[in-house]
Amino acid sequence: MTLEAKKDNLIIYEDFDIIIVNKPAGILSHADKHEKNETISQWLKNSQHSLARRIGVISDPRAGIVQRLDRAVSGVMVVAKTQLALYFLQKSLKKRKFFNKKYLVVIKKCFPKKKLIFTFPLAKTKTRGVVSFLRGKSSYTSCKTKRKLRKGCLIECFTRSGRTHQIREHLSFSGFPISDDWHFQSKKKKKSEETLLLAKKITFLLPGNWN
């Protein structure tokens, strides 16, 4: 089934400036040279949806996607439909101002206390984000325990930065790996198209409140 056939479940909210997309796990946010399957950005560009008719950023390689989610991650993404919205939201994200993201995560092992903060600097390799104290960029992830499960814990994470694989690497490096996250576990494990990490909530100013 194509993404166009699923569009009623993909679009959570829309106005003149933005679309909020509910990205399924197993799908890339935007294409790379090796990807053969349809991505969110390709669907946005090719869809007969109003985005393709009105968008002022259709020439943008990412089709107005402000923040990407990893293939294995599901949840909410914001897409700009106009140049002004794209500029403002990207600037807000870069400056960590008026743009906050929260995630729900299932980890294998519970924290020793209710809340932990991770600030390990992160760098990007060809395939993943990694902690690097020599060439990494600053990052901030705050996590708190929501409930204990039979195996592991459900936690909520808040990020002030958007580094590649930030939550996944911060948790894995600290000894609290996400359950069923093949990318940060043994290569012998079968690769899964989904990990137990959900982009739960995005908070930002809508265009009408910019002034």
Residues designated as active site: 70
CA–CA dist 61, 63 (Å, integer): 6
Place of tokens 């933005």: 18
Structure tokens given for 8:
């009623």
- Contacts of residue 80, defined as CB under 8 A and 6 or more positions apart, other chains included, come to 17, 18, 57, 64, 66, 86, 89, 90
Do the bridges between strand 129-131 and strand 197-204 make them parallel or antiparallel, or are there none, so unpaired? unpaired
Q: How many CA atoms lie within 13 A of 130 on its CB side?
A: 9
Q: Which of 76, 39, 45, 49 is nearest to 60 (CA)?
A: 45
